[in-house]
Structure 1
Amino acid sequence: MDQQSALDPSLHQTPAGGGDFARLWREPRFDGMECLNARFQRHSYTPHTHETYVVGVITAGTELYRCRGAERVANVGQVVVLDPEVLHDGRPAADGYAYRMFYPSVALFEQAMAEALGRSAAPHFSATELDDPELFQALRGLHHGLEGAHREPLRTDTDALRAFTALALRHGDLTARPRDVGREPAAVRRAREYLDAHLDSPVELADLAEAAGLSRFHLLRVFRAAVGTTPHGYLTDRRVAQAKRQLAGSLPLADVALACGFCDQAHFNRVFKGRVGVSPGQYRRGSNPVQDVPAAAA
């Protein structure tokens, strides 16, 4: 077992469940990128190529495959990446494997590199299995987010840009590097003002970057350096603060959720409790769950 799977209890040598499973969908906001969530214990791919890059994470078990004339092994906890038009196959080892895959277009990478480096570039990846726990978590989190019910455009675009840019800059053959973060106080101020004005509505990263006067990539870097969190993190904190104020009144919880930009009451409950420690209803009642915890568990 590699270091990543040893530290992460959600990763397993053997996939959970029985038999093969696969779900594929496309993401229109990412140039029609295909996404695949699959578990294979019997299925074997015939040799094939993709017009797109192949990027993914092995979340359980081991995949065996032949690529560039050699037999390869992708283990649980690893990131896998292939350039477009690379012939490869795939088959399960032992009890099978599970993975989450992206198939991003060349244009998608070129756009991300144009924002990060100031010029369009399509990275080449010589290594196919990567031991990069931070990147693994970023890609897995992005994939879960794309498959989930609550899709916030600002978080989705932020997670995708950061994950794919990190992959290219850390492991691609690019020689150019992003410019220094620097200080952009005016741009950060404009971004915060834009977010403060849109607490009750979805925010697109592209619109936020335009309001700030920076590229999306550079905005994410300077905003985090100045504020200590991402624009999405800042927006969520501001929405929770606004919800606290509204919970002092009699507005129904579902209406508070919508007024503060949450998808629905379930989304509101999850995010609010994650930051405050109690549900919106408990907060409204002024309850303190700590007092309800048995002394032995305190």
Structure 2
Amino acid sequence: MDQHAALTESLAHPLGSAPTARGEYARLWRESRFDRMECLNARFEQHAYAPHTHETYVIGVITAGTELYRYRGVLHSAVAGDVVVLNPDELHDGRPAGEGFAYRIFYPPVALLEQTLADALGRPARPSFTDTILKDPELFRVIQALHRGLEEPGGDALRLETDALRAFAATALRHGDLTARPRPAGSEPLAVRRARDYLDSHLDAVVELADLAEAVGLSRFHLLRVFRAAVGTTPHGYLTDRRVHRAKEMLGGPLPLAEIAAACGFCDQAHLNRVFKARVGVAPGQYRRGSNPVQDGRSAAA
């Protein structure tokens, strides 16, 4: 049995067309054949995501209910049948509306989409998406089928790789801007760049706003204003987000959760658990295992 088969076998659970029983569940795994792309299948009735970013794209489908999320300063409502896409490093949150929502999400690394488009176009390209909610029933079916196929044990490798290439290429070619260029690194004001560098180098330490302001040569008030304007969140929000990213990296290693919490600047393991789940959707231990046990055993995947 190969590594992928062993992993997906450990995630096996009856699949249905939509969740029918009450209760939240979330199942996360990584696909080594696709640059360790994270995949999430979840239903949330109460869980609300704190504002956060991903270093990857976000591409997925809403399979039941309605999700509300703020993205680029606008509140969006994604309903069953919608395809949702987010660009890398864009601040957003998420919460259920009404009785909740279920979705299947891919987090493809930037390099994966760039390689997909290089294969499709014969030239390098990096898509940027202006619209975050896509009304594209055919693309919805393709993405949902790929996600289900990857979750099922024993999937045919050639078919899955073919389906993934088609799904991600179709998303980018139909709905992406292939002429856009990402903002060059370091294009924000110098003080903001210095503040980000300071925060990145103090992930494991207590950071005082006065110390940060002094380090970049601004008043505390002015720093908060220009930082939010350039980054989209406060220095505290940015620092917390970076700490969670660091924790995700460290969860690939052998350190105990308590040591990871300390190394990433969290007060203790409970603090890490609370902040991590608010941004990732699963707890650190569940993220490390690559899946989240179904919390309501009667629920079926969407």
TM-score, length of structure 2 as denominator length: 0.53
1:75-90 equivalences under 5 Å are 75-90=79-94
Q: Deviations over 1:211-256 (max 9, x none)?
A: xxxxxxxxxxxxxxxxxxxxxxxxxxxxxxxxxxxxxxxxxxxxxx
Provide the residue aligned with 1:132 in structure 2. 136
- Structure 2 portions without partners, runs of 5+: 1-15, 181-302
The match for 2:59 among 51, 55, 58 is 55
Give the conservation status (yes or no) of the 8 Å contact 1:54–1:84. yes
The match for 1:172 among 166, 170, 176 is 176
| In 1, Cα distance between equivalents of 2:20 and 2:59 | 22
| In 2, Cα distance between equivalents of 1:24 and 1:142 | 15
The match for 1:120 among 118, 121, 124 is 124
Q: Deviations over 1:133-173 (max 9, x none)?
A: 00000000000000001211110000000000000000001
Q: Provide the secondary structure at the position in 2 that maps to 1:170.
A: helix
Provide the residue aligned with 1:21 in structure 2. 25
Residue identity in the other structure for 1:94: G
1:213-292 equivalences under 5 Å are none
Provide the residue aligned with 1:208 in structure 2. none
Give the conservation status (yes or no) of the 8 Å contact 1:19–1:42. no
Provide the residue aligned with 1:158 in structure 2. 162
User: 1:43 aligned to 2:32?
Assistant: no
| In 2, Cα distance between equivalents of 1:104 and 1:16 | 29
Give the conservation status (yes or no) of the 8 Å contact 1:11–1:60. no
Provide the residue aligned with 1:238 in structure 2. none
Q: CA deviation at 1:174?
A: 2.0
User: 1:107 aligned to 2:111?
Assistant: yes
| In 2, Cα distance between equivalents of 1:87 and 1:29 | 28
Q: CA deviation at 1:72?
A: 0.6
| In 1, Cα distance between equivalents of 2:134 and 2:54 | 20
Provide the residue aligned with 1:30 in structure 2. 34
Q: Provide the secondary structure at the position in 1 that maps to 2:126.
A: coil
Question: Percent identical across equivalent pairs?
Answer: 65
Q: CA deviation at 1:11?
A: 6.8
Give the conservation status (yes or no) of the 8 Å contact 1:41–1:97. yes
Residue identity in the other structure for 1:83: N
Q: Provide the secondary structure at the position in 1 that maps to 2:160.
A: helix
Provide the residue aligned with 2:99 in structure 1. 95
Q: Provide the secondary structure at the position in 2 that maps to 1:168.
A: helix
Q: CA deviation at 1:125?
A: 0.2
Give the conservation status (yes or no) of the 8 Å contact 1:58–1:97. yes
Give the conservation status (yes or no) of the 8 Å contact 1:11–1:76. no
Residue identity in the other structure for 1:44: A
| In 1, Cα distance between equivalents of 2:179 and 2:36 | 28
Residue identity in the other structure for 1:62: T
| In 2, Cα distance between equivalents of 1:17 and 1:85 | 35
Q: Structure 1 11/147 Cα, relative in aligned 2: closer, same or farther at 3 Å? A: closer
| In 1, Cα distance between equivalents of 2:119 and 2:172 | 12
| In 2, Cα distance between equivalents of 1:17 and 1:76 | 17
| In 1, Cα distance between equivalents of 2:165 and 2:40 | 19
RMSD, aligned CA: 1.5
Residue identity in the other structure for 2:22: G
Q: CA deviation at 1:17?
A: 1.7
TM-score, length of structure 1 as denominator length: 0.54
| In 2, Cα distance between equivalents of 1:131 and 1:172 | 14
Larger relative contact order (Cα-Cα within 8 Å, sequence gap ≥ 6)? 2
Q: Provide the secondary structure at the position in 2 that maps to 1:97.
A: strand
Provide the residue aligned with 2:74 in structure 1. 70
| In 2, Cα distance between equivalents of 1:41 and 1:16 | 12
Q: Provide the secondary structure at the position in 2 that maps to 1:99.
A: strand
| In 2, Cα distance between equivalents of 1:84 and 1:146 | 23
